[in-house]
Every structure is written in C-alpha cells, then in structure tokens.
Structure 1
Amino acid sequence: MKLGLALPDFGPDAHPEGLLRVCRSAEDMGYDSLWTGDRVLAPRTPGTPYPSADGSMPRVYENHMDPLVALTFAASHTTRVELGTSTLNGLWHPPIMLARSLTTLDVLSRGRLVVGLGLGWMPEEYTAVSVPWKGRGARLDETVDILEGYWTNDVFAHQGPLFTIPETVVGLKPHRRPGPPVLLAAFTPRGLRRIGRRLDGWLPVAMPLPHLLGMWDVVLKEAEEAERDPATLRMALRVNPQLTGSKTGPEEMPQAGTLGQYIDYARAAAEAGVHELFMDFGQTRATLEERVDLAGRFIEGVRNG
C-alpha cells in the first residue's frame, strides 16, 4: 500500500517554508504522495454544517492556499512523489481553464499529478464563484467529458448542455497519457456508480474498514457492469487523525485515537487491499516540527511495525 501526506496548504503552516519542509521531508522519508485540499470561503457560521461529528468547520481553513499552485510549488522541490488533490472542487472552474491548469501541472511535474475531484459541501462557496449549487452531478459529468476530450484529441471542440467550446488545436498534452488519473470523493449510490462506470478511482475518508470495503464493492460491481476492468481502479483513503493521549475504544476509531492506533488502522487497511492511504496531520494542534515528527513515526510504524 502506498502512503501519502497532506501538504500544509491550510492553517498556520501554509507558507513557503511549511510547504518546503513537508514536501522534502516526505520524499526523504519514503512517502509516495503529497496532497492538497480546496477552500475558497471560511465563514464563521456556515449555512450547512461541516461533515464532522460536531458539525463545526476546522479553523485551519481560515487560511487557505490555492491547491494547484501549492502542488506546483511542491513539484519544483521534489522529483518522485505523486501530487494529488483531495479534493479539488473542479466545478468552480470553467472546464477548459481547468483542463489547461491540470495539464500544465502534469507536464511540469513530469506526469506525477493525480486529479482528485469533489463537489464540496458548502453552498456559499458556489455562490461566491457564481456556479449553481443545483445540478452538480451533470456539471461534473460534462466537466469530465471536456477533460478527457482535451487530453486525448489534437483538435478538440465541445457542444453540451452547459458548455460550448469552439474547435481548437490542443498542442499541450499531459505527460501521463492518456491523462492523469481522475478520482472522485463520493459516498452516495449515484456517486459510487459514477466512479465505477467512468472514473479512475475513489477518494474515501477514514471509516471502519468493513463499511469502507462494502462501498468499494459497489464501485467494483458498477465497473464490471460497465464492462470495465475493476483491477484498474484505485482507492486513495484520506485519514484526518484526531490524536489522543490514550487509546480510544473501537467505536471511536478511526475518528480519534493514538498514533499507534492509526498505525494499526493503516496496516489493517493494507491487508484489506486499500491501494493508498494518506494522513493529514494539519488538523491536529501539532506544530510544523511536530507534524514532521509524526509523519516520520507513522511511516516507520506502518512499514516496519
């Protein structure tokens, strides 16, 4: 199983030195990937509760960087790790502009980009970027159509319900052909169906492994019904640890627990067939140096424990 780390593109460590410290340390430690998230607003009281146990939004989101710019910075200071978004709210961008940005990053990183898309949870953010909240599924499907067309055609045009792109020559091609993998964070039956039938994989968040694997089975069955090879799909599991000083009960993991418990969770996930797991230590109260230390202890425990 591959292991990854979230970059500090949120919170007090979202600055050049923080990004540089984490991306270089991750590569030196043997991590396989680095990930960024996406926010455009941080209201003190969101109209929709944050999808967490208490519904409150992490205050680290009040300081947020552009996820693709942060990954471009990381690309220039690393040579090996993959660079993923978890998640990029791609619907906030005109698809042709999104295609250009993603392709540029894939070229500059020499094929290390992983495009993780999400639909977000906060209607206010859609208001802020003048994109309708309703109809997000259809907008996502047409956006993916445009990405695929841009990546695979030398001459490209698109006419759809939402977007019209006049015929154009596309000289900029991704380094990874036919294009970077596109994963989706989705948990509804419709979302899991979309993953299995047309995307490259799934971006779940940490949950009890039986529940996780049950949802993954839905994705694989949808792929089979669509006559796709399920073995080509990948799962990259995000873990937002809430670290505690003492062990928590089974009912609290993986929402909260000790570093040792998260190491055990990762090892169990690997045995269960999870392809990749990445940790976001930025939602803890750790300092930058403590965050790097946790990352080192975590990968050593998973690899050698």
Structure 2
Amino acid sequence: MRLGVSLQPRWPLDDGAAVLRAARRAEELGFDHVAVGNRLLDSGFGLDTDPLVLLAAVAGATTRLRLLTSVLVAPYYPALVLANQAATLDVVSGGRLILGVGTGWNPDEFAAVGVPVRERGARTDDRLGAARALWSRRPTDFDGRFTTLREARLGVPPVTSGGPPVWVGGASDAALRRTLRHGDGWYGTGADAGDLTGVRHRLRELADEPEHADRLTLASAEFLTPPGVPAVTEAPGRPLGGATPTAASVADDLARLAGAGLTACTLWLPIAAEHVVEAMEWIAAEVVPQLP
C-alpha cells in the first residue's frame, strides 16, 4: 500500500513556506504523495486554498512526491480551465499529478461561484468528459451539456498519456458509474474493509465488463491522530487504530484495508500544523516498518 499525507491543517499565514517544508519532509520520509483539498470559503479548519495552485508550489519544492487533489470540486471550474490547469501541473511536475475529483456539497460555495448545486453531478460529468477529450486528442470536438468544443487545441498537452490519472470520489451509484466512465480509480473517505468490499462488488455489478472495474485503483483518505499529538478537531469518521491508537493497531487497520483491496491511503491528520512533521516522523518510524 502506498501511503500519503494530507497537507490540510491551517498553516501560519506569516510563514507560507511552512507547508512546503512539510512536503519536502514527507518526501524525505518516503511517503508516496501529499494531498490538498478544495475550499473557496473559510471552513474554520484547514488549508482553504486552490489545490492546483498549492500543489504547483509543492511540485517545485519536491522531486518525487506525487500530488493529489483530495478532492477538487470539478463543477467550480470551467472545463477548458480545469483541463489546462491540470495539464500544466502535470507538465511542470513531470507527471506527478493525481486528479482526485468530486461533485462538492457546500451550497454557499456553489452560490458564490454562480453554479446551481442541483447540477453538480451533471457538471462534473461534463468537466471530466471534456478534459479527457482535450487531453487525448488534438484537435478536439466535444458536445456536452455545458461544454461545446470545436477543433480545440489545449494550450499545453499533458506529459502523461491521456492526461493525469483521475480518482473519482463518492460511494453512491451515480459516483461509481462516474468512476467507471471517467476514472482511473475510486477515492473514498474513511472507508473500512467492509466498505471497500462493497464498493468493489458494486463496481463490478455496474460495469459493462467486470474487468473494467478490476483495473481501477482503490484509494481512500483515512483519519489518524498519532499518540501524544493533540487533535484540534474531531475526525469525521473512525480513526485508524481506534480511539487510543498504537503503531501496532494502526498497522493492523492498514493491513486489513490492504487485504480488502486498498492500494493507496491518504492519512488525514486532524492536528495543528506545528505537529504535522512530528506525526509524519512517527508514522514513518513506527507504523511503516510493521506493514506487510
């Protein structure tokens, strides 16, 4: 299993490079990826930035670390803008971008950007369909519900053939169909082994061919508060290792997830920014050696 870490805590505004130093430390410790979410308005906790902008800075500060949007709210972005920004980051990072996408949920943000929240699913499909076309064909014709392209040539083609891998979030049938139609992987939140088994089974049921479902990466964000590190917010799901985690209990939970098919795990740490490096070092020194 490939382990990554979220860069979601609220970093000090008077030290904007702190998040970049944390990303470099994650790379030194051997983590597979770092992840950044998508907020336009102040959430009260976390790094409320544009993920593609921040990950571009992380790309310049690192050399190997993969860059995950966890998740980018696709309806907020016009299709051509999304395709071009993602392709640009794919190029400047040397193909390290993973585009985790979702439909979003925050009605205040949808109202602020002038997008009807009831159209978020249809607009996500439209954005992903157009982006895939732009990444794969030059010139491109595309007829979607919200996007029409004629002889379009994307400003910068991605270096990754067909564009960066897309992981689609959500566990509803609509989200799973979207994963099969547009995705290279499924991306969950707080999934346990039973959830993963259910998702795998349902993807195979919904796929035209079961092999289409079997090719998908299964990934999830999981919650973890390392022992001795104070949490600053409550995790929105069961934390790895339980309420009083140890390195062994966390490793056991990760092993169960791997056995159920999870191949990439993003660790979401509900802790203050000043403890993130300490937490990553504990994971690398105490948990990773116990993984199978």
TM-score by length of 2: 0.87
Q: Return 81-90 or 12-21, whichever deviates more.
A: 12-21
**Structure 1 position 245, deviation (Å):** 6.3
**Structure 1 position 227, deviation (Å):** 6.1
Shift of the 291–170 alpha-carbon distance from structure 1 to 2, 3 Å rule, reads closer
**Equivalent pair of 1:266/1:302 in contact (CA under 8 Å):** no
Shift of the 68–267 alpha-carbon distance from structure 1 to 2, 3 Å rule, reads same
Of 137, 144, 148, the match for 1:164: 148
Of 104, 108, 126, the match for 2:92: 108
Aligned residue for 1:264? 252
Distance 2:286 2:131 in 1: 39
Name stretches of at least 5 consecutive residues in structure 1 with no aligned partner. 43-56
**Structure 1 position 215, deviation (Å):** 1.9
Of 169, 173, 188, the match for 1:204: 188
Aligned residue for 1:233? 216
- After superposition, the C-alpha distances for 1:188-229 in whole angstroms (9 at most, x for unaligned) are 122122213431111101233212321232123333x24653
Distance 1:85 1:245 in 2: 29
AA in 2 matched with 1:36 = V
Identical aligned residues as a percent: 30
SS at match of 1:204: strand
TM-score by length of 1: 0.84
**Equivalent pair of 1:115/1:180 in contact (CA under 8 Å):** yes
Distance 2:273 2:162 in 1: 40
**Equivalent pair of 2:196/2:261 in contact (CA under 8 Å):** no
Following TM superposition, where does structure 1 have runs of at least 4 consecutive aligned residues deviating by more than 6 angstroms? none
Aligned residue for 2:276? 291
Q: Is the aligned partner of 1:6 residue 2:6?
A: yes
Q: Is the aligned partner of 1:184 residue 2:164?
A: no
Name stretches of at least 5 consecutive residues in structure 2 with no aligned partner. 230-236
Aligned CA RMSD, in angstroms, stands at 2.4
Q: Return 65-74 or 294-303, whichever deviates more.
A: 294-303
- After superposition, the C-alpha distances for 1:34-57 in whole angstroms (9 at most, x for unaligned) are 110011123xxxxxxxxxxxxxx6
Q: Is the aligned partner of 1:97 residue 2:84?
A: no
Shift of the 256–222 alpha-carbon distance from structure 1 to 2, 3 Å rule, reads farther
- After superposition, the C-alpha distances for 1:16-65 in whole angstroms (9 at most, x for unaligned) are 322222111111001111110011123xxxxxxxxxxxxxx6x314x522
- After superposition, the C-alpha distances for 1:227-285 in whole angstroms (9 at most, x for unaligned) are 65334210121013355669xxxx9554744253333322322233211111122x22x
**Equivalent pair of 1:24/1:77 in contact (CA under 8 Å):** yes
SS at match of 1:238: strand
Aligned residue for 1:18? 18
Shift of the 253–279 alpha-carbon distance from structure 1 to 2, 3 Å rule, reads closer
SS at match of 2:114: coil
**Equivalent pair of 2:7/2:19 in contact (CA under 8 Å):** yes
Shift of the 154–197 alpha-carbon distance from structure 1 to 2, 3 Å rule, reads closer
